[in-house]
Structure 1
Amino acid sequence: MEAKTPSASRTTMTDMVLPSETNALQNLFGGELLARMDRAASIAAGRHSRRITVTASVNHVAFNLAIPLGSVVTVEAAVSRAYNTSMEVYIDVWIEDRYNGKKTKANEAIYTFVAVDETGKPTEVPELLPETKLEISRYEGALRRKQLSLVLAGKMKPENATELKALFIKN
């Protein structure tokens, strides 16, 4: 299986916030944004694995800025790390000023997807080869996030979380 770069999975979806998608404050519903991020992340995971992918978890979501009615919203997703059968997908959400074109980062999220075969069983995915400084940073952070999640779930002993230990213990 040939390794791929994050750019091979990059997915960009742009849409406008409509009245039916807003709350009482005329801002995009958080659930609507979660759905948009899930769709973009699913496409990115599928592009990386060339398999059916399913959402395994939403690991992190930061609703940093409200997204007002009428906003042009761009959701960008790319695989940030590939494991045996799963992929971490990092998502950035941008708001575009329709009058001057300036983009402002509004939100971000990290989802985990699993590639499955025709019977629904997890199946292997290609290795990921990050290229840019940002891709390398997200790639390295992904292993720490995974180890932390496993330790907190009781599926890994803290002493085996080598990437986490390296943050706190200097040789």
Structure 2
Amino acid sequence: MSEKNCERDDKMNTVKYVKDSQVEMTELILPSDANPLGFLLGGRLMHWIDICAAMSAMKHSGKVVVTASVDELNFLCPIKIGEVVILKASVNRVFRTSMEVGVKVFAMNPLTGEIRHANSAYLTFVAIDENGKPVPVPPIVPETDEEKRRYEEALLRRQQRLKHKEEIKNVRKQRVNNP
């Protein structure tokens, strides 16, 4: 392979698409990943979800990212030892320095090929510079109907998150003023 093929393209594309942020990860469930009932530990899956989502956010932003929040994590069905976990992540929406990433998790029986939707999660990441300070992220353009739906829903989740944060702040303020 020539050196030219290994050179990094530093040009910041003005238009970035959801499909360009897509990441897929697979993991085989081993006994060390499971609880005493033989099902995948929730914490192990959460770890994999965070890694997959971070890779998607980094792929889109071209920056190091940190997890800012996990809005939803829905366990729909158990995943057994011997099954394969398939995690699919992509950036749903970009705000200024943050991005919402959706992760869909599937469980596959490697013997039959049967696939089940096992989990969905929404995480927010912030892009940071070498000093750990937030930096702007390029906007994302949804193309398909599904991408457009996720784009719109990401705004609703952000609004709910900010509203909840404000409500907590008000409750704390009332406690200080009325001990």
Residue 103 of structure 2: aligned partner: 91
2:72 corresponds to which letter in structure 1? H
- Which of 26, 29, 51 is 1:39 aligned to? 51
1:149 aligns with 2:161: yes
Count of equivalent residues:
155
Q: What aligned pairs does 1:38-57 form with structure 2 within 5 A after superposition? A: 38-57=50-69
User: 1:49-94 deviations in whole A, cap 9, x for unaligned?
Assistant: 0000000011100011101011111001000000100000000000
Structure 2 CA distance, aligned partners of 1:103 and 1:21? 19
Shift of 1:131: 0.9
Shift of 1:3: 2.5
User: 1:29-66 deviations in whole A, cap 9, x for unaligned?
Assistant: 00000000000000000000000000001110001110
Shift of 1:145: 0.8
1:48 corresponds to which letter in structure 2? H
2:103 corresponds to which letter in structure 1? I
User: 1:97-119 deviations in whole A, cap 9, x for unaligned?
Assistant: 21232321110100000000010
TM-score under structure 1 length normalisation: 0.88
Residue 142 of structure 2: aligned partner: 130
SS at match of 1:32: helix
SS at match of 1:115: strand
SS at match of 1:154: helix
| Identity %, equivalent residues | 42
Larger radius of gyration: 2
Structure 2 CA distance, aligned partners of 1:105 and 1:3? 31
SS at match of 2:81: coil
For structure 1, which runs of at least 5 residues remain unmatched after alignment?
156-171
Structure 1 CA distance, aligned partners of 2:83 and 2:145? 30
Residue 71 of structure 1: aligned partner: 83
Q: Where does structure 1 differ by over 6 angstroms across 4 or more consecutive aligned residues?
A: none
Structure 2 CA distance, aligned partners of 1:146 and 1:25? 36
User: 1:94-147 deviations in whole A, cap 9, x for unaligned?
Assistant: 011212323211101000000000100000001010011111100000111111
1:134 corresponds to which letter in structure 2? E
Query: What's the RMSD between the two structures over aligned residues?
Result: 1.1
SS at match of 1:118: coil
